[in-house]
Amino acid sequence: ETGVTQTPRHLVMGMTNKKSLKCEQHLGHNAMYWYKQSAKKPLELMFVYNFKEQTENNSVPSRFSPECPNSSHLFLHLHTLQPEDSALYLCASSETGANTEAFFGQGTRLTVV
Amino acid sequence: GDSVTQMEGPVTLSEEAFLTINCTYTATGYPSLFWYVQYPGEGLQLLLKATKADDKGSNKGFEATYRKETTSFHLEKGSVQVSDSAVYFCALSSPWDTGRRALTFGSGTRLQVQP
């Protein structure tokens, strides 16, 4: 039990579908993150939220749309994805002070067909 | 900007061998340093951390020492087990006044331990 829960664990979607990934943290953190992990590539930071406000968007295509309704929940809405978007999507949370580590969920394995 | 460089893998060792995975970093100021481990099909788990120069982080037989003079944080274990097979990520947390809030990760090093 990591304290960060992601659902679903696996998702297969067509390129015209709309789906959402969900992340929930029970650690009382105020910062949440989405990362993309593709085979043979480094971990890519996608979005950062602090106190429900988006503070970083690392040039992520608009077909990925994050939502943070409160400090405990983070969503990633997906639409019109491409096969190259297939990857493991990891959610993380942390405290907002200095020298703090991030806690990760188990990830959602996304396959776009 | 901040960056972390790790040795490329895979690293293949026999059980009970000594492990070193090199990690060097570039950062403004005095970052905190971390090692994370990712087992197959799982997310990343914090393995150990160090928050200031000369600190030694340790956990589950793994150790790493924060070396400011060489900007390094190499991961070591004296005797690896098959269950240590995983991908290991070195990461840094930028000082608070830089404004960057997310961790910066290295590219990961896959460790394969053979019986």
Q: What is the mean pLDDT of chain B?
A: 92
CA count, 13 A, side-chain hemisphere, B75 = 31
Q: Is residue B73 a contact partner of residue B30, using CB atoms and an 8 Å limit?
A: no
Backbone angles phi, psi at A98, to 5 degrees: -80, 160
Q: Across the interface, do A43 and B102 touch by the CB < 8 Å criterion?
A: no
**Could you tell me if A47 and A56 are in contact, meaning their C-beta atoms sit under 8 angstroms apart?**
yes
**Chain B: residue whose CA lies nearest to A96:** B101
pLDDT band, very low/low/confident/very high, at A76 (cuts 50, 70, 90): very high
> Average pLDDT in the A103-110 region?
96
Mind telling me how many Å the CA of A93 is from chain B's nearest CA?
Answer: 10
Residues of chain B with C-beta less than 8 angstroms from the C-beta of A96: 101
Q: Which residues pair with B65 in a beta bridge?
A: B56
Average pLDDT, chain A: 92
Predicted local confidence at residue B97, as pLDDT? 62
* Inter-chain CB proximity B32 and A99 less than 8 Å: yes
The answer to which of A33-47, A50-64, A73-87, B98-112 has the lowest mean pLDDT is B98-112
